[in-house]
Amino acid sequence: MKLWFVVFVSIVVLILALILFSPLIKVKPNKISDFTDVESCLQKYYFEDNSNSTYKISLISREFSPKENYPKAWECMRQIPKDKSYNLLIQLKDAPSKDVKALLELNGIKLLNYIPKNAWFAEAKGELMLNKVLLSQIRWLGIIRPEDKMQKSLWEGNAGSWGLNGNDVNLVIKLHDNAPSQMFETLVTELGGEVTEHVNTSNSFTIKIPMKNLKMLANENSVRYIDTIAPPAVITN
């Protein structure tokens, strides 16, 4: 048997195998930005000290008192790609003045929404250039966990009867201000969902997505908050 014939048959068999088995291969949707290295690094320096209520952080999903992890966790920030911004939680030692906030932003960290106590959602840019005075203000740096972006009941799969549509769930999504909306819409499509409304001024969306993919959506760094749609109004006489 000639070599060329053996090669030809092998190629045909390989093509047929790809056609037959490709539906069984699950492709993981792409994230808008992949910050795996940053998050793995920050997780190494995440410890709680819940006996210390002075620096207790209160999220919608939980309360916790993180142990101070600066300056070790600061090294994780160096892994943010140069042309990217990473959304994280940051806790300062004291309430910052307007001048300190302005200097933080000038040097690559923009404080966004306040979280009690002395914590913020923040945007950190690649190649941060902070001086020692500003760095001395930082107490703790940490990731925004997927479960921190929604009520505990929703994380556990309870979306309310008004929020469910068969195997799908209707959600309101608020993105961080720096998040690209078009790329988020692509991500929703990859997760088997669809966008039903987009409010550009607030960078928020109403979407329908399979309930099984909710946690995968929450794992996207650009997502700030997830909630079910509001229940229908009850008319009373």
Domain boundaries of the chain, sorted by first residue: 36-144, 149-228
Calculate mean pLDDT across residues 198-212.
91
Beta pairing partners, 64 = 57
Please give the single-letter amino acid code of residue 125: K
166 dihedral zone (left: phi>0; alpha: psi -120 to 50; beta): left
**Confidence check: pLDDT of 222 > 80:** yes
Of the chain, the percentage scoring pLDDT greater than 90 comes to 35
pLDDT at site 194: 94
Name which residue leads in pLDDT, 13 or 103: 103
Question: Quick one: pLDDT band at residue 22, thresholds 50, 70, 90?
Answer: very low
Q: What is the pLDDT of residue 111?
A: 92
Could you identify the residue written with the tokens 């009373």?
A: 236
Give yes or no for a cis peptide into 117 (omega within 30° of 0): yes
Tell me, what's the pLDDT at 233?
63
Alpha helices in the chain (DSSP H): 3-21, 36-44, 74-77, 98-106, 132-135, 152-155, 181-190, 214-218
Interior CA angle at 186 toward 183 and 187, to 5°? Answer: 90
Instruction: Give tens-digit pLDDT for 56-114.
Output: 999 988 899 999 998 888 888 888 888 888 889 999 999 999 988 888 888 888 898 89
- pLDDT tens digits for range 162-177: 788 889 999 999 998 8
Of the candidate CATH numbers 3.40.630.10, 3.30.70.80, 3.90.1180.10, 3.30.230.10, the domain formed by 149-228 belongs to 3.30.70.80
Of residues 200 and 132, the one with the higher pLDDT is 200
Higher pLDDT, residue 179 or 233: 179
Encode pLDDT of 137-192 as tens digits. Answer: 889 999 999 999 998 889 988 888 878 888 999 999 999 887 888 889 999 999 99
